[in-house]
Amino acid sequence: MRKVKAYRRVITSAMIMTWKHNMIDGFIIFTVLIQPMLVAILALWMLRGKGSEYIIYVVIGSGMTGLWSSLLFISGNSINMERWFGTLETLTGIPTPLEIITFGKVLANVIQSIISMIATYTLASFIFGYPLSVAMPLYFILSLLLVMVAFIAFGLVLAPLFILNPQIQQLQNGLEFPVYILSGFLFPILLLPSWTTPISYVLPTYWAARALHAAGKGDQSLGYIHLAWLILVGLTIVYLLASSREFRFMILKAKRDATLDTR
């Protein structure tokens, strides 16, 4: 019980420190807030006169772009940033496991990214005059919570992976927009070539967008949403197990090779 309370304090402290850093980082502000709003403005302008039934795709999809970009660039580099600041060696030497600290940092980034979705909803409602409504509010909230949990777990997979294989960072920019497209953030994946469908099915972002779109628009059966929930829960479990092994391997490798301070 004492350990749980101690970990909770660490997670809270990591969240607060991450928020303070993010609020003065221009790149993070652009990624979380400005970029999703630009995507929303462009998509809403393209869909002008098409009817409000398409708007839910835009506001959810543009919000998801901010969530994915935050996960890819900010959460993915959450451990690397400690290396750049010269604090990674200290964090690995304290009693609190590094994954607990990383969990707090990733949690802060995911929660902050929800601002993107709120901003795009506000944009659609007040600037373009579209009604601000969700067809299935309870299902939408539950879907959003499951999405947040799945994305936090996925962030815990990315963070040590970027340490174990620094070359993956070179692919970051190339992974951003293809995932937007393959996940169906702004349009259904049925519009894509059929050979891309299996790729979409293995992405957590696709099932996240599927659940939120269905709950927001209310045009699918409950079974359609429940399937997305079930797969998100399954992926979350897989990610948590994988991240635990990654963190253990990362620490062991760092102790063996003395590479924590390698920039």
In a domain, 107, yes or no: yes
Give the model confidence (pLDDT) of 150-204 as tens digits.
999 998 998 888 877 777 777 777 888 888 889 988 778 888 888 999 999 988 9
pLDDT on residue 108: 87
DSSP 72: I
Please identify which residue in the block is written with the tokens 């479990």: 237
In a domain, 127, yes or no: yes
Helix (H) or strand (E) holding 5: helix 2-22
Length of the chain, please?
263
pLDDT on residue 138: 93
The total number of structural domains that make up the chain = 1
In a domain, 136, yes or no: yes
Give the model confidence (pLDDT) of 116-156 as tens digits.
777 777 776 777 777 767 888 999 999 999 999 999 999 89
In a domain, 262, yes or no: no
Calpha distance 79→109 (Å, rounded):
13
Please identify which residue in the block is written with the tokens 């040590």: 160
In a domain, 212, yes or no: yes
Is residue 117 within 8 A of residue 59, CB to CB? The reply is: yes
> Which domain range does residue 18 map to?
2-257
Residue that wins the pLDDT comparison between 230 and 34: 230
pLDDT higher than threshold 90 for residue 233 = yes
Calpha distance 88→81 (Å, rounded):
8
In a domain, 100, yes or no: yes
In a domain, 130, yes or no: yes
DSSP 258: T
Q: What percent of the chain has pLDDT over 70?
A: 93
Token couple for 141: 């909230």
pLDDT higher than threshold 70 for residue 23 = yes
Give 259's contacts (C-beta < 8 A, 6+ positions apart).
Answer: 253
Burial class from Cβ neighbours inside 10 Å (0-12, 13-18, 19+) for residue 174 reads exposed
The mean pLDDT of 96-110, rounded to a whole number, is: 87
In a domain, 108, yes or no: yes
Give the model confidence (pLDDT) of 203-219 as tens digits.
899 999 999 989 988 88
User: What HEC string does 13-30 produce?
Assistant: HHHHHHHHHHCCCHHHHH
Other CB atoms within 10 Å distance of the CB of residue 134 = 18
Burial class from Cβ neighbours inside 10 Å (0-12, 13-18, 19+) for residue 257 reads exposed
What is the distance, to the nearest Å, from the Cα of residue 163 to the centroid of all Cα atoms in its chain? 19
Burial class from Cβ neighbours inside 10 Å (0-12, 13-18, 19+) for residue 181 reads middle
Calpha distance 195→197 (Å, rounded):
6
pTM over 0.85: yes
CA distances from 164 to 95, 153, 257 (A): 22, 17, 12
Angle formed at CA 23 by CA 20 and CA 25, multiple of 5 degrees: 110
pLDDT on residue 259: 65
